[in-house]
Amino acid sequence: PLASAAGDPLAGHAVGNLLLHGLTELLGDPVAALDHAGAMLGAVGRVLPMSRQPVGIEARVRGADPARPDEVRTVRGQHQVAVTSGTVESLRLTPAAPAACAEAVSAVRAADWLIFGPGSWYTSVLPHLLVPGLADAIVSSPARRMVTLNLVAEKETSGLSLPDHLDTLRRYLPELKVDMVLADSTAVGDPVAVERAAESLGARLVLAPVAVTDGTPRHDPAALGAALVPVLGADR
């Protein structure tokens, strides 16, 4: 059965995460575990961790307790931060400066493009910017950089506008420069504020219909791929 006991660090995680946890324990290395999982699925490409060390997430959250909307408390753990009902005011890793995965650093330095998002902003996108060695590689890489914005705010980013999403990237990695920001042409609403936020990162805004057409806030893989083709094929 899946872990569900209160306080269990695995509770609330997706089955895929539990599988990777088991493979890591079996093989003794997260890179080997990810490579093995990729081979099992016949995946094209490679998934790499940002660090080989076990890394936790802590957030300072205002209003995590609805009965105390002005109270700021520390929320620990990826799942707990992702489902918090308050406003995330700051994010940190534990340990604060984990060693970057050497394979991930090499991949970043050799890449043509670095693409941030879509994904959970505080628990999937921003943590990579908090690993010093990986952050340095991101800043110094000769690759071009793109941010793919989410379609709607998730629970962890409730109240965070699309321009705010871009502002948080600069907040956690001030040296970050971006070439392009991709957003859904409908979900973006008034593009002026998003365009200004993109320009503050050095980027131009690209709008395209990348959402599924049934009204649910999900990216359409085929539409997203079609939007990326002319962008990623642009001259350097």
The 10 Å Cβ neighbour count of residue 170 is: 16
Backbone angles phi, psi at 48, to 5 degrees: -125, 145
CB 176 within 8 A of CB 116: no
Structure tokens belonging to residue 9: 């660090």
How many CA atoms lie within 13 Å of 4's alpha carbon, on the beta-carbon side?
Answer: 2
**Pairwise CA distance, residues 124 & 122, whole Å:** 6
**Pairwise CA distance, residues 77 & 55, whole Å:** 10
Tell me the pLDDT tens digit for each residue of 133-181: 999 999 999 999 999 999 887 878 877 889 999 999 999 999 999 999 9
Record the pTM: 0.86
pLDDT exceeds cutoff 60 at 215:
yes
Tell me the Cα Rg of the chain: 18
User: DSSP string covering 208-235, please?
Assistant: E--B-TTSSS-B-HHHHHHHHHHHHTS-
| Type of residue numbered 21 | H
Residue 28: name the closest of 46, 2, 52, 48 by CA.
52
Give pLDDT, residue 177. Answer: 96
Residue 169: name the closest of 150, 184, 186 by CA.
150
Residue 152: name the closest of 186, 192, 199 by CA.
186
Tell me the pLDDT tens digit for each residue of 74-119: 999 888 898 888 889 999 999 999 999 999 999 999 999 999 999 8
Domains and CATH numbers, the chain: 1-47 (no CATH), 97-232 (3.40.50.10680)
CB 205 within 8 A of CB 183: yes
Give pLDDT, residue 67. Answer: 86
